[in-house]
Amino acid sequence: MDFKEKVVELILSKVDLPKEQVMGLIERPKNPKLGDYAFPCFVLAKSLHKNPVEIAAEVSEGLASPEFAKITAVGPYVNFAIDHQQLITDTLKTVLEKQQTYGEQQLGQGNVPIDMSSPNIAKPMSMGHLRSTVIGNSIAKIMKKVGYNPIKINYLGDYGTQFGKLIAAYKRWGSEEDVKKDPIMNLFHYYVRFHEEAEKDPALDDEGREWFKKLEDGDPEAVKLWQWFREVSLADFNRIYKELGVTFDSYNGEAFFNDKMQPVIDELKEKGLLHESRGAQVVDMGEGENPAIIVKSDGTSIYLTRDLAAAEWRMKEYGFVKMLYVVGGEQAQHFVELKTVLKKMGYDWADEIHHIPFGLITQGGKKLSTRKGNVVFLDQVLKDAVSLAKEQIQAKNPNLEDQDQVAHDVGVGAVIFHDLKNDRLDNFDFDLEEVVRFEGDTGPYVQYTNARAQSILRKAKAMGKEVGTARSLDDDWAFAVAKDLADFPDTIKKASEKFEPSIIAKYALNLAKKFNKYYANVKILTDDDQISERLALVEATSIVLTNALGLLGVNAPKEM
């Protein structure tokens, strides 16, 4: 329950102001005795030329709703007071009853393909691909929680002229043995070397072009090498996906659409959308916009053509209600073109296509790129994160069983959480030490809070204490926790509407902070007549923290 929304709704039943404005005016009274929310009447007084005190009295007149124990005018304010004890009891009951299903709701249904991760074969997965992977994975979980059927598609970059270059490079400097030993690293080195040497020796570029032509024409050697590169690269990627705990429903990448582009080009022609511009076949994008190229002047099709074919194919295959592309912000124009062309083809479903962009990860303020070799190798980042986590666990809890599993959950979880806690579109800097800290706004902090809750529950069990909600808690710290718990379903709703996992990550951090305040101020395991209710609060917190972390794709160890 979003109480603020409810306050706004009640106010709007009485006053004629835009919703956004009322939303912005709502305050939290400094003195909690006055209530939980207040609507100040000064703005209204000004426009109505009336006394704000009078207006407050008029607005509060007859206003009532079960969420609020009291709605009263106090001077120029309308105050809303929640029945704290009622809220605490109701919320804890609900969470304990629903357990991990708490927060599930039916906001929609149907297939939602999510185009995510989509790294390029024979190149290391970049931090950008990491972002796409973890953001896409989390959005899939969030969409599922609100009723949709997500379909995670890894649109592998497994085709294009670069494979001609790679084959040429491999033929010149490659060794089968090296590729087998460390596929991506070595293929990547050939590729980087190709670019370096091609700057001095333009003949190399011709060689690359020839090999690509052979590949297109189905030359057995070219095809075999290409398939092999794809296979070993995918095996490497799968190792990282396994570490991250991410799975896919489809790996239909760029190559899958090789034979599906011509029909799209024909369709565009038939619909009279294609015309020639400087030797290329293009579709007009409207006044003042550059046309979208569909077939280049040399007759080759491009990224956009392939994505058009993929979108049509997915519509036929999945009959989707929405389709999401989790791809960096630098490709925004591409997705505008994709949607515009589909729309012009008469496909209204183009309106249900959403580009979900995200910002860059920088290091020391600099952009990371794969082309120049200035790249962070993702498996190394994850390995380092796990060993940092392990150091801290060994210091804090040397006797912990399953140390390696916990270190894995914490280290990898830290990297994922760090990625998701920022608004999707923000750029952020990656500093591993920062990411794996147990204090501050980190994943390990949330996990540690959950482990603390679990440890309290274990101790209580050893004391023979039960969890219960027969009486109600009446302190402000408990109320603060319970109010957050009550907000969880609504938080998921917002995250699903904005395709924004950071809303869940921030929520988890806040809940963890409030719970730790509770822990610092209240003696939970004191054996008095409210101990079972305090334990209910502890258990409910753990359920929701675990649930929230789960929506981010982060595990919550019970002990750490």
Q: Would you tell me which residues interact with ligand ARG (CB under 6 A)?
A: 115, 118-120, 155, 157, 307, 325, 327
Q: Quick check: helix, strand or coil at residue 230?
A: helix
Q: Toward ligand ARG, which CB reaches closer, 173 or 303?
A: 303
Of 153, 156, 155, the closest CA to residue 114 belongs to 153
Nearest approach in angstroms of CB 268 to ligand ARG is: 18
Q: Which spans in 146-219 are helix H?
A: 162-173, 176-181, 183-200, 203-216
Tell me the backbone φ, ψ of residue 251, rounded to 5 degrees. -115, 25
Nearest approach in angstroms of CB 26 to ligand ARG is: 41
Q: From CA 111, how far away is CA 126, in angstroms rounded?
A: 28
Nearest approach in angstroms of CB 56 to ligand ARG is: 54
Measured CA angle at 498 (ends 494, 500), to 5 deg: 90
Q: What is the DSSP letter of 329?
A: G
Nearest approach in angstroms of CB 482 to ligand ARG is: 42
Nearest approach in angstroms of CB 325 to ligand ARG is: 6
Nearest approach in angstroms of CB 357 to ligand ARG is: 11
Q: Quick check: helix, strand or coil at residue 120?
A: strand
Q: From CA 329, how far away is CA 334, in angstroms rounded?
A: 10
Q: Toward ligand ARG, which CB reaches closer, 231 or 474?
A: 231
Of 445, 377, 392, the closest CA to residue 417 belongs to 445
Q: Toward ligand ARG, which CB reaches closer, 120 or 305?
A: 120
Nearest approach in angstroms of CB 310 to ligand ARG is: 6
Nearest approach in angstroms of CB 153 to ligand ARG is: 8
Q: Are 471 and 533 in contact (CB under 8 A)?
A: yes
Q: Toward ligand ARG, which CB reaches closer, 120 or 454?
A: 120
Measured CA angle at 323 (ends 318, 325), to 5 deg: 130
Q: Toward ligand ARG, which CB reaches closer, 118 or 133?
A: 118
Q: Quick check: helix, strand or coil at residue 392?
A: helix
Nearest approach in angstroms of CB 433 to ligand ARG is: 28
Nearest approach in angstroms of CB 198 to ligand ARG is: 21
Which residue type is seen at 365? G
Q: Toward ligand ARG, which CB reaches closer, 237 or 518?
A: 237
Q: Toward ligand ARG, which CB reaches closer, 260 or 513?
A: 260
Nearest approach in angstroms of CB 116 to ligand ARG is: 8
Q: What is the residue whose two structure tokens read 């006044």? A: 287
Q: Toward ligand ARG, which CB reaches closer, 258 or 387?
A: 258
Q: Which residues pair with 115 in a beta bridge?
A: 153, 325
Q: Toward ligand ARG, which CB reaches closer, 231 or 330?
A: 330
Nearest approach in angstroms of CB 251 to ligand ARG is: 12
Q: What is the 3-state secondary structure (H, E, C) of 286-323?
A: CCCCCCEEEECCCCCECHHHHHHHHHHHHHHHHCCCCE
Q: Toward ligand ARG, which CB reaches closer, 119 or 150?
A: 119
Where is 235: in which H helix or E strand? Answer: helix 220-244
Q: Are 325 and 356 in contact (CB under 8 A)?
A: yes
Of 319, 357, 320, 318, the closest CA to residue 336 belongs to 357
Instruction: Please give the residue whose beta carbon sits closest to ligand ARG in the complex.
Output: 157
Q: Toward ligand ARG, which CB reaches closer, 355 or 421?
A: 355
How buried is residue 203: exposed, middle or buried, by Cβ count under 10 Å (0-12/13-18/19+)?
exposed
Distances (CA, A) of 102 to 45, 182, 200, 541, 556: 43, 44, 62, 12, 16
Q: Which residues pair with 152 in a beta bridge?
A: 114
Q: Toward ligand ARG, which CB reaches closer, 80 or 212?
A: 212
Q: Are 359 and 521 in contact (CB under 8 A)?
A: no
Q: From CA 83, how far away is CA 3, in angstroms rounded?
A: 12
